[in-house]
Structures are given as structure tokens and as C-alpha cells.
Amino acid sequence: MPRPWLTGGAAEIAVHARTREQGYRPPADWTWLARVREAVSVPVVANGDVVDLQSYREIRRVSGCEQVMIGRGLVACPDLALVIQRSCSGEAAAAMGWESLHPWLVDFYAQVRERVVDRHVPGRLKQWLAMLAGVYPQARILFDQIRRQTCADQVAELLEQGSAAQLLAAPSSTC
């Protein structure tokens, strides 16, 4: 039976299907999303462990939710939402290639440099590359190249070279 007071007047709620103790430990239990959906009278946005088209379809099926929120999956595969949208409308769907993603990394790095003191800048890029590496082999190569670098200028140089032939020749992405 719906219990409206549970949502405290919210128009909709996003639910990450894990407890605080579970942290990010996989797997998220999506059956809880269906239980929450039945217990409240506002739309529930399903969240937790959506990393590709298959997991998107599966969370929709198990939860019965119409809307999905994606966190880390979008950091690792920045156009995943577009891939999903295209696939849902019957269009061909493939993640962007490294050559399209690379300028975004360069722009990200420039923006971080505007906001963060130099010694913390390389770490921000490493964090993102580490997450991209599961999808883009080129991100792993670049990560390994800058792993020990602490100088923001040197990392910028290596990043600029990140669209080089060696990286473009790596196998394509898989999200």
C-alpha cells in the first residue's frame, strides 16, 4: 500500500539500490527498487550499477521503473545516455570513439587547471582516466603514461599527445 509520508512531499525520488553499509560493493539489489516503487506514490528513478545498455534494460525490467539515473557509468562512458536513447528509438548505437572523447579530456584538464592548485591537477585527470580505462583501452595507455607524473605542465603535454597514432590504434570502446 502506498505510504505518501515516506517521500516527505518530494515530486519524485531517485533510489540507489544499496544500503550505506554496502557502499559501492556490487551488485546493487534492484528488486528493492520495485519494493520502494510499490511503497510510495511518486515516481521512483532507478539507480545503481547501470554501466551499459544491457544493465539499463535489466534495471528497468527488474525495478519496473520508467526512469533511470546513471552515475559512474556516465563517467566511464560519457555518451552512455545517448547510446541508450538511440537504442530505445531503434537507431544504431555505439559509444563515441577515443578521437571524439579526447578533446573533452583536454577541455576538462584546462577547466581543472583554472580551478585547482597545480599540484592537485594531475590527480583529477588520473581519476577520470582510471574510470574511462574500463571502456577505453586508450585511457589505460594514457593513464600508465602519466601515472608517475606530478607536474601539471608535463601531464598537459602527454595529454595533448593522447590522440597520437599509438592510442588511436588501440581497440575501440565497448560500452
Ligand X SMILES: Cc1cc2nc3c(=O)[nH]c(=O)nc-3n(C[C@H](O)[C@H](O)[C@H](O)COP(=O)(O)O)c2cc1C
Binding site for ligand X (CB under 6 A): 16, 47-50, 70-73, 75
Least Cβ distance, residue 14 to ligand X (angstroms): 7
Q: Which residue is nearest to ligand X (CB)?
A: 71
**How many other CB atoms sit within 10 Å of the CB of residue 92?**
7
Amino acid at 31: T
Least Cβ distance, residue 85 to ligand X (angstroms): 17
Least Cβ distance, residue 16 to ligand X (angstroms): 4
Question: Which C-beta is closer to ligand X: that of 16 or that of 37?
Answer: 16
Q: In terms of residues, how long is the chain?
A: 175
Strand order in the sheet with 67-69: 13-16, 44-47, 67-69
Beta bridge partners of 2: none
CB proximity list for 174: less than 8 A, separation 6 or greater: 95, 135
Question: Which C-beta is closer to ligand X: that of 75 or that of 158?
Answer: 75
Helix (H) or strand (E) holding 68: strand 67-69
Q: Please identify which residue in the block is written with the cell numbers 554496502.
A: 22
Question: Which C-beta is closer to ligand X: that of 64 or that of 71?
Answer: 71
Least Cβ distance, residue 72 to ligand X (angstroms): 3
Question: Which C-beta is closer to ligand X: that of 98 or that of 128?
Answer: 128
